[in-house]
Amino acid sequence: MSAYAPWSPQAAQDLLSALPADERLILPALQHVQAAFGYIPDGAVHVVADALNVSRAEVVGVLTYYHDLRQAPPASVVVQICVAEACQAEGTRELVGAIESAYDVTLGNETHVGAVEFDKVYCFGNCALGPAAMVNGRLLGRCDMARLEAAIESAQGVRS
Amino acid sequence: MTARIYVPRDSAALSVGADEVAKRLDEVCAARGAVVEIVRNGSRGMLWLEPFVEVETPAGRVGYGPVTAGDVESLLDAGLLEGRAHALSHGLVDQIPWLATQQRVTFARMGLHDPLDLDDYRAGGGLRGLERALSIAPDEVVADVLASGLRGRGGAGFPAGIKWRTVMEADADQKYVCCNADEGDSGTFADRMLMEGDPFTLLEGMAIAGIATGATQGLIYVRSEYPYAIRTLRTAIDIARVDGWLGPDVMGSGRAFDIRVVEGAGSYVCGEETAMLESLEGKRGMVRPKPPIPALQGLFGKPTLVNNVLTLAAAPGIIADGAAAYQALGMERSRGTQVFQLAGNIARGGIVELAFGVTLGELVEGYGGGTRSGRPLRAVQVGGPLGAYFPADTLDVPMDYEALAAAGGLLGHGGIVAFDDTVDMAAQARFAMEFCAVESCGKCTPCRVGSTRGVEVIDKITAGVDRERNLVLLEDLCTTMTDGSLCAMGGLTPLPVRSALAHFPEDFHRATEVRP
């Protein structure tokens, strides 16, 4: 997605030095880097560490702890499938199976299929209208392959 | 005359096409020359009827649902704007039994208005609680919360007033109010709906807590999976600041209280209060040992009131209307109302707010109408991923903290997930361990390692490998996790596992036994 700037250590430094005092913490700093560049490249670790005057180990510790923080660029369409209990009761296991056979993949985290990426997540709070999914930040309820593919198509349309 | 139509903006409604319905209504009405005002309200919580469209009539609001964009023409043809009959009509909304028989206290305003219209909020009784809190002494506010019997709605059920009093009495140069909006339990969505559908109530509750405890800074830790809630809260905070009831001089009282929203990063265990505090400090969301308790040494080592969204949202009503009205509801030591959430394979899913004491069966069979698939109900999980599975023939348990605990379960955040007879309970038990393995913060070995071993042992049991010995091993593992974990993640993961084993042993015995 062209919404993200290409990685640049200088741009990251500028971004971090402009952070308000209450966001000069490791997690928000990494979230800001990801929001700007789409992911947190290896080269960002020492930039964040230097900006906050913390060790690189602390930055890597936070970076690898949180599921949201990613070390590789996202695909242009990110599809997140809820695999938690309420959606299981409504058929998310079957939906995951259908995706896996349709795209010939094993769904893990950040599984890329061309320009589309599938992630498993736990719960969007749409538990009465499952299976739930999110396509580029847009929530879908009562999800099946047809609804999912339509949403992916429309997300691809928005991009191009 | 301008007809007023309501189309919800709650993300659950949007997930099934509410925006498309609103757009279509706007287009078709314009083409027909009908003058309409489309209000984007919160959801009434009747989620199986979403998108639920309402129209104002002299007799009251008439509801239609579930409406698709394709239904709009036929609804208008039938006389939607006058509230006339249609196959999708449910009549006067206030008279729909599902809604009319509830005791909506925390969710009293839910779905009535545009959630970001402050005039509507005031007209509905909003800000009376904060006004009163500013006019009385802080210890009187705390006394009211204590007298109401309000208990923490996050899951643990700790008396809210005692926390408030502890923070109030702590002596420090800075105190915090942290709202735990990391609603990660599958099957729960009440926090999300309140944040999206009635955000001012939460902000007012936090301001009251700040005034009572002497905290000047509030933080709302919202999970990143709730982007709609985050946007709504941030806008609501801006509106409250402009109106002067958040900021350096709350309602001209000379007292300061401000709130900021902090976005989580996809970690379930950050819903545990000490892990949340670590995350708010920008660190890994690792659980802290207690003591020290957060009320004395919380965020950045300062006294911190940590409460769930629904706990804080109950405060404005309690302070405005007095503790007695709230205390009068409920049973035994569970006072007031609980916002139950009906989810999973259920015909009528959504929000049911009732006084404590309603039975699980009344909720699942009565309000919920049984399974959505129409197949027989087999199991109900209460209280999220760390809650017990109840078999369909044990639903007479009353829903209060102590009664559920006595029945071997927990109320948690009030989420109720129904499963029909196609569910494989051994797979559900395995999932509980798998989820724990993925989400464990890693601090306690029984949780970090035990969950992975748990998946392996359950796999052996279901494959029939040395089954009896592995069942003993699993039981032993569950005991170690329960006794040897700091927080509920490792401590309660055995609950769904053990309840599945106890009530549905046949699911673990499907494969023929193989001796290694």
Residue A158 scores a pLDDT above 90: no
Whether B195 and B238 map to the same domain: the answer is yes
- A85 to chain B: closest CA residue: B186
Nearest CA in chain A to B432: A85
Q: Per residue in A56-75, pLDDT tens?
A: 999 999 999 999 999 999 99
Q: Is residue B454 in a domain?
A: yes
Picking from B293, B327, B361, the residue at the C-terminal end of a domain is B327
The answer as to whether B187 is a domain residue is yes
B300 near A CB under 8 A: no
The pLDDT of residue B354 is 95
Chain A residues lying within 8 Å of B228, measured CB to CB: 139
The reply to whether A66 touches chain B by the CB within 8 Å rule is yes
Record: contact A127-B189, CB cut-off 8 A? yes
**pLDDT tens readout for residues B93-133:** 999 999 999 999 999 999 999 999 999 999 999 999 999 99
Determine the pLDDT at residue A66: 98
Contacts of B262 in chain A (CB under 8 A): 28
Q: Please state, in angstroms and rounded to a whole number, the distance separating the CA atoms of residues A88 and A70.
A: 26
Nearest CA in chain A to B386: A85
**Which string of DSSP letters, residue by residue, matches B222-260?**
E-TT-HHHHHHHHHHHHHHHHHTSSBSSGGGSS--BEEE
Nearest to B344 among A90, A121, A124 (CB): A90
Chain-chain contact of A85 with B186 (C-beta, under 8 angstroms): yes
A123/B186 Cβ within 8 A: yes
Is A79 an interface residue toward B (CB < 8 Å)?
no
Q: Which of A82, A125, A129 is opposite residue B183, by nearest beta carbon?
A: A125
Contact assignment for B188 to A137 by CB distance below 8 Å: no
Mean pLDDT for chain B? 96
| B468, B352: one domain | no
Q: Which pLDDT does position A151 carry in this prediction?
A: 96
Q: Are residues B203 and B143 in the same domain?
A: yes
In the chain, the amino acid numbered B131 is E
B389 touches chain A (CB under 8 A): no
Residues of B in contact with A125 (CB under 8 A): 11-12, 183, 188-189, 191-193, 225-226
Nearest CA to CA, how far is B437 from chain A (Å)? 13
Both B167 and B285 in a single domain?
yes
Going by pLDDT thresholds of 50, 70 and 90, the confidence category of residue A159 is low
Our count of domains for chain B comes to 4
Let me know if residue B500 belongs to a domain: yes
Are B187 and A85 in contact (CB < 8 Å)? yes
Chain A residue whose CA is closest to B269:
A66
* The two three-digit tokens of residue A135, written as one number: 């396509």
| Pairwise pLDDT comparison (B329 vs A108), residue with the higher score | B329
Nearest chain A residue to B419, by CA:
A89
**One domain for residues B466 and B346:** no
Three-state DSSP state, B416: strand
Quickly state the pLDDT bin for A109 (edges 50, 70, 90). Answer: confident
Q: Is B52 on the interface with A (CB under 8 A)?
A: no
pLDDT for the residue A112:
87
Are B265 and A130 in contact (CB < 8 Å)? no
Taking the Cβ of residue A139 and every Cβ of chain B, the question of whether any pair is shorter than 8 Å is answered with: yes
| pLDDT given for residue B455 in this prediction | 98
Dihedral sign (CA B433, B437, B439, B443): positive
Percent of chain A with pLDDT over 90: 87
In this structure, are B183 and B42 located in the same domain?
Answer: no
All domains of chain A in start order, with CATH:
9-65 (no CATH), 77-159 (3.40.30.10)
User: A129 vs B16: CB contact, 8 Å cut-off?
Assistant: yes
pLDDT band per the 50, 70, 90 thresholds, residue B390: very high
Is residue B416 within 8 Å of residue B470, measured between CB atoms? no
Selected residue with higher pLDDT from B102 and A157: B102
d(CA B178, CA B219): 5
Which of A62, A69, A127 comes nearest B343 by C-beta?
Answer: A127
Q: For residue B301, which phi and psi values (nearest 5 degrees)?
A: 80, 5
Same domain, B308 and B189: yes
pLDDT-based confidence at A1, cuts 50/70/90?
very low
Check whether the bond before B66 is cis (ω within 30° of 0): yes
CATH number of residue B91's parent domain: 3.40.30.10
CATH label of the domain that carries residue B275: 3.40.50.11540
What is the structure's pLDDT at A2? 54
CB contact under 8 A, B266 and A67: yes
Compute the average pLDDT of residues A103-130: 90
Tell me, what's the pLDDT at B164? 98
Of B327, B346, B371, the residue that ends a domain is: B327
CA distance B94 to B104: 12
Q: Residue B282 — left, alpha, or beta (φ > 0 → left; ψ -120 to 50 → alpha)?
A: left
Residues B231 and B315 occupy one common structural domain: yes
Domain boundary among B308, B327, B346: B327
B264 contact residues in A (CB cutoff 8 A): 68
Q: Name the token pair of B111.
A: 């779905």
- pLDDT at res. A103: 86
Q: What is the mean pLDDT of residues B353-360?
A: 94
In the structure, how many helices (H) and strands (E) does chain A have? 7, 5
Considering only the beta carbons, identify the residue of B48, B184, B267 that sits closest to A65: B267
CA distances from B499 to B89, B144, B478 (A): 42, 38, 11
Contact yes or no for B186 and A27 at CB 8 A: no
Does residue B113 lie in a domain region?
A: no
Spatial CA neighbour of B344 closest among B202, B214, B187: B187
Shared-domain flag, residues B365 and B471? no
Q: Quick one: pLDDT at residue B332?
A: 79
pLDDT of residue A105: 85
Contact B284 A31 (CB under 8 A): no
- Helices marked H in B227-352: 227-243, 273-280, 309-321, 323-327
> What residue type is assigned to position A109 of the chain?
N
- Residues B395, B380: contact at Cβ < 8 Å? yes
Domain of B467, CATH number, reads 1.20.1440.230
| Cα B321 from Cα B344, distance rounded (Å) | 35
Q: Considering only A97-111, A144-158, B15-29, B123-137, which range has the smallest mean pLDDT?
A: A97-111
Same domain? B386 vs B288: no
| Chain B, window 338-377: residues with a beta carbon less than 8 angstroms from a chain A beta carbon | 341-346, 349-350, 372
Whether A160 shows a pLDDT value over 60: the answer reads no
Separation in Å, CA of B465 to nearest CA in chain A: 25
CA nearest A126 in B: which residue? Answer: B12
pLDDT for the residue numbered A113: 86
Residue range of the domain that includes B308: 118-327
B38 and B88: one domain? yes
**Residue A127 contacts B, CB cutoff 8 Å:** yes
A115 contact B CB<8A? no
CA distance B377 to chain A (A): 11
- Please check whether residue B109 lies inside any domain of the structure: no
With an 8 Å Cβ cutoff, are A68 and B224 in contact? yes
Residue A45 has pLDDT above 90, yes or no: yes
Residue of A nearest to B441 (CA): A65
Query: Is B111 among the domain residues?
Result: no
> Does B312 share its domain with B405?
no
pLDDT above 70: percentage of residues in chain B: 100
B106, part of any domain: no
Residue at B75 is within a domain: yes
Provide the total of helices (H) and of strands (E) in chain B, helices listed first: 21, 16
Chain B partners of A67 at a C-beta cutoff of 8 Å?
265-267
Query: Are A28 and B282 an interchain contact pair (Cβ–Cβ within 8 Å)?
Result: yes
pTM for this one? 0.97
Task: Categorize the per-residue pLDDT at B516 as very low, low, confident or very high, splitting at 50, 70 and 90.
Answer: low
Shortest alpha-carbon distance between residue B498 and chain A (Å) = 16
CATH code at position B403: 3.10.20.600
Q: Which residue of B has its CA nearest to A69?
A: B265
